[in-house]
Structure 1
């Protein structure tokens, strides 16, 4: 793949293809042209140098901008560091979560608070290079709704990099959107291509899939990945089961969202065939003569059917909870306070424990 990127799926209209011209002032209504959204969890040693670097690179772009940082319940003084930075620059807007709700919740809250026509997301650990913002925007200006970063030369251990490659291939296959690096937070979006209200779990990595489902085109470019200088990584293998569960839900949403009975009919057909084979095996072995524990195939079939049933129940519960949050306009997080931002209730950025102030607008849930 070349450095210039690759267009993948979807189709944007030409009228939506261009961002505001470089060097322009604030958009009409006083909103900035660019929003930079950064989730941060226990990054007290990184947020200062990172925001200094982000401001320097954003100033060089010649566009009006804001930086929205979401403190995801940090306990190491990240909140104090962000408050100090925000007091010195009104363009730095801070959302403080009441507890640690996870990266997806932090990104969703930041995306909802962002007001720019173009939104760039990046991690708060300084491993994403802010100088790549220019290339992301230039690629976005070619008519894409989303440009995803690809950390081709990663500064991670070999085992984690290998697991990431396997996961990316699996996600690309399941979603029919081939990307090399779904886990890279460094991405650029057009604001009208996003619907943050549909994000929860570990679904932030599937944002390009959501963009394409709404008719947007997706590109991918190689970006620099830097070694971590301060702090420790928050990523671990414990995320893998959650990502796989969310992948199953995404597959259900995008392939069977208008005909879920087809999915369950297909699974039921496979189970019926398996049951017939196991039943035949039981007849041959003499079902009444051998204890079930002496028939490993039969036992495996029973356990397999039970596990698939639990997965199906889990998917149904996910859909119910998804509709609960979407229809009521609630969010699976709680905001303790904000800096340089309006009160969350006044903007409709309500949480799971706050009464909604307005109906959620936009398309129906996927």
Structure 2
């Protein structure tokens, strides 16, 4: 597509698709990545844009990416974050910046193949989905450090969230912008995006599709075996937020009522043992357990009340972004 055709298209068509790519210390990969995206999208019939989010890279990633800003067949926007905020925050910045009706996300390390994007867009529309997740069926990663922990994590996430997918960790996904922009990504929760989306739409509108996966060609992986432990902790948070985000009082209140009921049974038993059978209960450990359970019950119930108040305040307040943009780069038309 020539520059004149691109300008003509921009003046007529609305933005159909935004490609969002978080990048961090990918100086050797960013140039080939942009070339591959342009090659993969050259026959795409609608208007599209590429949003690169530089997550505080300490190498020449940003400098190499800026060389492509004036490329005539590319609508490129580079978002430079003030420091390294993490992949989730970078992805959120890209989604917030994206103008397309549909949004595609992929990694910047050349392991995802941009050639899969047009077919995924067609599949999303044909199947009437709100989210289509890539499935790295033939994953080109190490067995023990990447594949086995990933299989375990995918199984646990599917069991707990109820969203059955083969590959939660694949960054290659296609969203309807109107849906994903309702989801606030925090912490390192980009791994659980399908679960968060399932809180907005029925899980029947979330699907998956096999995609190509390449071995890393440049640089080193930003993840290690320690990610497995973080996934487990994040999964507990996801489980709590999916079920009790808007009603934390029910979670703490249920625990409080349970411990309170148990303490009542223990204290009632001791009351009968003391005043009906005349036994001494002053030195019995059961008395201490009963009293402690009663105090725990009171604490849990009051914690639930406070959590409800905090949750209501949270939902009423304006949420601030979890990232800071230093500057943006775009071709001056």
Q: Which category describes the TM-score, using the shorter chain as reference length?
A: 0.7 to 0.9
CA distance in 2, matches of 1:258, 1:337: 35
Choose the corresponding residue for 1:149, options 125, 131, 134. 134
1:117 Cα deviation from its structure 2 partner = 0.9
Q: Which moved more, 1:90-99 or 1:249-258?
A: 249-258
Distance 1:94 1:241, change over 3 A: same
Confirm or deny that 1:46 pairs with 2:29. yes
* 8 Å contact from structure 2 (residues 158, 164) kept in 1: yes
Gaps of 5+ in 2: 1-7, 268-282
Partner of 2:326: 336
Which residue is equivalent to 1:190?
Answer: 176
Tell me if structure 2 keeps the 8 A contact 1:35–1:118.
Answer: yes
Deviations 1:89-140 (A, max 9, x none): 5611100111100000011000111111111110000000111112211210
Contact 1:119–1:188, Cα closer than 8 Å, also in 2: yes
5+ long unaligned stretches in structure 1? 1-24, 280-287, 291-297, 343-366
Contact 1:97 1:336 in 2 (8 A): yes
What pairs up with 1:1-366 in 2 under 5 angstroms? 31-89=14-72, 91-142=75-126, 143-159=128-144, 160-195=146-181, 198-215=184-201, 217-268=205-256, 323=314, 327-340=317-330
Q: Distance in 2 between matches of 1:270 and 1:166?
A: 32
Write the distance in 2 (CA, Å) between the matches of 1:328 and 1:214. 19
Cα distance in 1 between the residues matched to 2:331 and 2:241: 33
SS of residue paired to 1:37:
strand
- Please tell me whether the aligned partners of residues 32 and 66 of structure 1 are also in contact (alpha carbons under 8 angstroms): yes
Q: 1:215 to 1:28 in 2, by over 3 A?
A: farther
- The answer to whether the 8 Å contact 2:13/2:46 transfers is no
1:197 positional shift: 5.9
| Counterpart Cα distance in 2 of 1:170 and 1:27 | 44
Decide whether aligned partners of structure 1 residues 170 and 272 sit closer, same or farther in structure 2, where only a CA change above 3 A counts.
Answer: farther
What RMSD over aligned residues (CA atoms) do the two structures have, in Å?
Answer: 3.5
- How far does residue 60 in structure 1 lie from its aligned partner after superposition? 1.9
Whole-Å separation in 2 of the counterparts to 1:60 and 1:71: 27
Deviations 1:313-335 (A, max 9, x none): 9xx69x76x938x8334111111
Larger Rg: 2
Structure 1 residue 161 displacement after superposition: 0.9
Aligned length: 294
Which residue number in structure 1 is paired with residue 271 of structure 2?
Answer: none
Alpha-carbon distance change, 328 to 85 in structure 1, aligned in 2, over 3 angstroms: same
Larger mean Cα displacement after TM superposition, 91-100 or 263-272: 263-272
User: The residue matched to 2:103 in structure 1 has which SS?
Assistant: strand
Distance apart, 1:68 and its partner CA: 0.3
Query: Is the Cα contact below 8 Å between 1:151 and 1:223 reproduced in 2?
Result: yes
